[in-house]
Amino acid sequence: MKRIAIVDYGMGNYHSVERALRYAAPDADIRLTGQPQAILAADRVVLPGQGAMGDCMRTLAQAGLHEVVLKVAATKPLLGVCVGEQMLFERSQEGPSSCLGLLPGEVRRFSGDCFEASAGAKRLKIPHMGWNAVKQTKTHPLWSGILDNAPFYFVHSYHVVAADPAVVVGQATYGAPFACAVAKDNIFAVQFHPEKSANDGLRLYRNFVDWNP
């Protein structure tokens, strides 16, 4: 039985992620935990996140889990969700704040001047909230069984800008295209919420459980 740890550091939509994972992978041992040894002992790890970046990074450190996440990222499959994706990069405009630095690039706020590409040039609301098609820019095992341009659910004001375009595996458009899924080696991370994205979100969680990078 695969052991999956959801990192509980006080700043995530943990219980929704836990419920979705249990539904998608009833054969797995899924644990919501803030205990370093339990996280390090897991076969794979999910890093959720929500709220302000500075608060997320501070509470992660206060929980004694900053170095734990770095160790996990070097040794086993890691899935970042929402702010959990953003935390993997070097820095954020929100704060400003230094992040985990596992992927090169930064987190930027949607521009207040972004407009919808349609007649009338409607100004877009921030945060970006709701369903949005995700273009699979590269093949990846976590996209298995999920159609290209399938809709996923988003709630965010910031998005990642990867310094290395090679890590971008999914893209959505809100005024302009932005990276919403990234991957490198044993790391996969998404800006959207799989746990709020119906069957395709559950499939992505199942794919993560079965993934052997």
DSSP H or E stretch at residue 75: helix 66-75
Q: How far is CA 93 from CA 63, 111, 176, 193, in A?
A: 23, 12, 19, 21
Indicate if 180 belongs to the active site.
no
Active-site hit among 18, 56, 82, 159: 82
Active-site hit among 128, 156, 159, 193: 193
Indicate if 106 belongs to the active site.
no
The pLDDT of residue 105: 97
Phi and psi angles of residue 73, each rounded to the nearest 5 degrees, phi first: -60, -25
The pLDDT of residue 113: 54
Q: Domains in the chain, ordered, with CATH?
A: 3-210 (3.40.50.880)
Instruction: List, in order, residues 6 or more apart from 178 with CB less than 8 Å away.
Output: 159, 160, 161, 171, 172, 191
The pLDDT of residue 112: 59
Indicate if 140 belongs to the active site.
no
* SS3 state of residue 63: coil
Rounded average pLDDT per 10-residue block, the chain, 213 residues: 95 91 97 97 96 93 97 97 97 88 95 58 82 98 98 96 97 93 98 98 98 95
The pLDDT of residue 20: 97
* Half-sphere exposure at residue 117, Cβ-oriented, CA atoms within 13 angstroms: 5
In the chain, the amino acid numbered 185 is: D
The pLDDT of residue 115: 56
